[in-house]
Structure 1
Amino acid sequence: MNAALDPARFPAGVLFDLDGTLLDSAPDMLATVNRMLAARGRVPLALAEIRPHVSRGARAMASAAFPELDPAQVVDLVPEFLDIYRQELGRHSRAFDGVEDMLAALEAAGTPWGIVTNKPESLARDILPQLGWQARCRVLVGGDSLAERKPHPLPLLHAAAAIGIGPGDVVYVGDDARDIVAARAAGMPSVVALWGYRLDGDDPVAWQGDAMVERPAALCDASAWPATA
């Protein structure tokens, strides 16, 4: 059959970023930084002030909460942030609307899925049971699981090998430029998750992902996924 006439099919495998892609974790992050601010007698932040920084990790969150600090001082706050965040983990966050339907559609098609995140692996692993994903997620790679983290391709290549699928047949979905950079370096087609977290100056078009999707529910349709090898 002519390839142009082939019916749309789901990818052989899919890997996702976690924060800002599968999980709306901004409320947990907000609770964390506001506890840090309260301990110093400072006024709390609003969700809109912290939300754009979530995909960039603990250091970016601490910097957003304490913008007057220099980078070395921000680094010193990271252990405190992580300690408090572990206590808030899953208390306020939830899967984005449409994520459960999307995952169910992949599973119904026989497509294994996993997570590659820069969040510390222990934190990512701890959230899975709260979402009911611990038996469904086929592989989990955290930011400290390997010698490299995104935007390096190693975590994506490691995850693809773990599910036994060549990288060209796996699609990576993420909401940050480094997700798309990592996918390209790994030889994986990519989807830009436009529902995630972005700074005002970010231009997701410039990331040159293979597809740009507004809502997770759109990925219930096989035709929304980019072609694989």
Structure 2
Amino acid sequence: MLQAVFFDLDGTLADTARDLVEPILAMRAERGLEPVPFEALRPYASMGARGLILRGFGVERDDEAFPALRDEFLARYERAMLVHTRLFEGMDAVLDALDRAGIRWGVISNKVERYVRPIVAGLGLGERSVCAIGGDTTPFAKPHPEPLLHGARLAGVDPARCVYVGDDLRDIEAGRAAAMRTVAAAYGFCGVESAPADWGADHLIDTPLQLLHALELARA
């Protein structure tokens, strides 16, 4: 029996891409650099600051210029995290269906917790979600299973009776390591390194509403 469903935040539960990309666009403009199309940056949103800075400036994490760019990016992002961010279309119906079925659900992201909590609250989900876990909530981040296992403990559920939904290979790896059933959200950001169909998830969905069919919660 399914006891809980846990969601990655960026690119799975909510479309946060525009708010993640805008700081990079502004930083490039202030430096006199040519604009980069939003669609070229969107896939890198799944990689957070590291991926967006790599695509936006060609700077790797071990480059000496990276820390300053990261700090500027994060400061800009923290000031405007909920300007364009919205639940993906159909996700509200998914959450309502989980609530009706008495299935707990929560958010487990690699974004730091001080960003995760206000975003979840700003989306009006703070009282409904059983957890809002960030990449720094536990000593480990995904693909390590500990954030997912911590979510299961907070929800008081058996990990083997849980599902984890994510739009990145690390999400599926973390879900498998936590002994959870996994769902790859192909509608999300999904990165550029491999296709969601190749991640080995138990289910592959192209829209949030397809999750209801994967969980056998869809109404006839």
Q: Do they fold alike, i.e. is TM over 0.5?
A: yes
3-state SS of 1:216 partner:
coil
- How far did residue 200 of structure 1 move? 4.4
Whole-angstrom distance in 1 between the partners of 2:119 and 2:12: 14
Structure 2 counterpart of 1:4? none
> What residue identity is the alignment partner of 2:160?
G
- Pick the aligned partner of 1:62 from 21, 36, 53: 53
* Counterpart among 209, 215, 220 of residue 225 in structure 1: 215
Name the CA shift for 1:124/1:88 in 2 (closer, same or farther; >3 Å): same
Q: Which runs of 5+ in 2 are unaligned?
A: none
Question: How do 1:1-229 residues align onto structure 2 when only pairs under 5 Å count?
Answer: 11-67=2-58, 71-72=62-63, 73-221=65-213, 224-225=214-215
Aligned residues: CA RMSD: 1.6
SS of equivalent to 1:125: helix
User: How far did 1:102 drift?
Assistant: 0.5
2:143–2:170 contact (8 Å) kept in structure 1:
yes
Q: Report if aligned partners of 2:163, 2:180 keep a CA contact under 8 Å in 1.
A: yes
Q: Which moved more, 1:128-137 or 1:12-21?
A: 128-137
Alignment size in residue pairs: 215
Q: Alignment partner of 2:209: what SS?
A: helix
Q: TM-score, normalised by structure 2?
A: 0.92
Rounded to whole Å, the distance in 1 between the matches of 2:42 and 2:52 is: 9
Residues 75 and 218 of structure 1, relative CA distance in 2, 3 Å threshold:
same
How far apart are residue 69 of structure 1 and its match?
5.9
Q: Which amino acid aligns with 1:23?
A: A
Query: 2: distance between equivalents of 1:215 and 1:70?
Result: 32
Change (3 A) 1:174 1:201: same
Shift of 1:59: 1.2
Structure 1 CA distance, aligned partners of 2:60 and 2:212?
44
1:225 maps to a residue whose letter is L
Amino acid at match of 2:58: P
Moved more, 36-45 or 26-35: 36-45
Are the equivalent residues in 2 in contact too, given 1:101–1:220 (CA < 8 A)? Answer: no
Deviation of the 1:70 alpha carbon: 6.9
Q: Return the offset for 1:34.
A: 1.1
Moved more, 98-107 or 200-209: 200-209
The CA deviation at 1:31 is: 1.1
Give the counterpart letter for 1:96 in structure 2: F
Determine helix, strand or coil for the equivalent of 2:68.
helix
- Residues 1:75 and 1:101: Cα distance change in structure 2 (over 3 Å): same
Q: What is the SS of the residue equivalent to 1:71?
A: coil
Letter in 2 for 1:195: Y
Deviations 1:46-75 (A, max 9, x none): 210110111111111111110156732224
Shift of 1:141: 0.9
* Farther-moved stretch of structure 1 (171-180 vs 128-137): 128-137
Per-residue deviation at 1:220?
3.0
8 A Cα contact 1:31 1:88, kept in partner: no
Structure number with greater Rg is 1
